[in-house]
Amino acid sequence: MKFVPLGQQRLRTVELVHKMVQLRKDVLYDSMGASLIFKNIIDLVKQYPWNNFLQLKVMNIFNDVLDNCENVKFKKDFLVSSGIGPAIVEMQKTASFTMESERLIRNGYMALVVHISNKIQKKVEGTAGADKISDITVSEYLESVGEDWRSFVDNELKKSNENNNKTLGGSTTRNVEDDDEKNDENYDVQMEKIMQRFTNFNRILSQNSATDDDEDEEDEDTQEEEKNFDEDDGDKSTSTYSDTSSDAGVKVQKVVFTEAEPLKEEFVDSNFWKVNVTEEYDVDALLAELES
């Protein structure tokens, strides 16, 4: 019975293979290149076309092998044992997926197909620079794939790249090649502007910091002066009334307080509204007046 790892175990297994590739050990290279481990990983991509996490880990494996591996034998064994060329040709035949509503959408693994195909094509066409040096190992492998690969590059891959390069929500007539040529020229200008902004920002911060320090020093000086003034003022007030000879120019004036007039009890608020109980009333007479 064939065992297929599920869920997290599947992802951990592919990640383990990636870690083994990153070790760059010849013993591991020989063992993995002679096995079907990479073919099984590609089969998992076909079996789970909508598992984006799996596809990202597979992309990392191909990026590491194609960009960083210096072992020519392992790179060749990797391409042959994985069968990536025929697998891409096979998967691109079902580039569209029909939903239950009969609506066509891109199949889940097409992002992986386009990414790895462009990576392989760049290795064949060579890197940009003074001399375009192609990867002979990759070129020889694609020659073995045959005409199917060239047909895929000229049709499905070209159409996919054109669609991916379109500007969403705006004009799609922008000349991408011209923009790519200007990117290198504008890069230095943009970096210079960014660095200038950082320099200005740091200068502003430095000025603000220096201003704050000066203000703090002024506040401390002001507080010290006020404190000294209060102390001096306290000494002066004490000496004014204790020893007038110590402060020249300070004249002591006599203050006369007038006596307050006595309050009339009948006009005090607490007594004004009181009933005068000193007067006597004839209760019977009052009741008789009420009845009449």
The neighbour count for residue 107, using CB atoms within 10 Å, is: 18
pLDDT band, very low/low/confident/very high, at 252 (cuts 50, 70, 90) = confident
- pLDDT, position 33: 92
| Claim: this prediction has a pTM higher than 0.75 | no
Place of tokens 């996919």: 160
Residue 232 lies in a domain: no
- pLDDT, position 271: 61
pLDDT band, very low/low/confident/very high, at 97 (cuts 50, 70, 90) = confident
pLDDT above 60 (res 232)? no
Cα angle 64, 65, 66; round to 5: 95
Residue 278 lies in a domain: no
pLDDT band, very low/low/confident/very high, at 112 (cuts 50, 70, 90) = very high
Q: How many distinct structural domains can be found in the chain?
A: 1
Residue 221 lies in a domain: no
Residue 173 lies in a domain: no
- Domain of residue 92, residue span: 7-167
- pLDDT, position 280: 65
Of the candidates 70, 163, 34, 60, the one whose C-alpha atom is nearest the C-alpha of residue 110 is 163
Residue 243 lies in a domain: no
Angle between helices 72-82 and 52-68 (to 10 degrees): 150
Q: What number is the average pLDDT over the span 219-223? A: 63
Residue 48 lies in a domain: yes
Residue 50 lies in a domain: yes
DSSP summary character for residue 249: T
Per-residue model confidence as pLDDT tens digits over 145-164: 888 899 999 999 988 888 88
Q: Residue 40 in contact with residue 34, Cβ under 8 Å?
A: no
- As a whole number of angstroms, the distance between CA 248 and CA 252 comes to 11
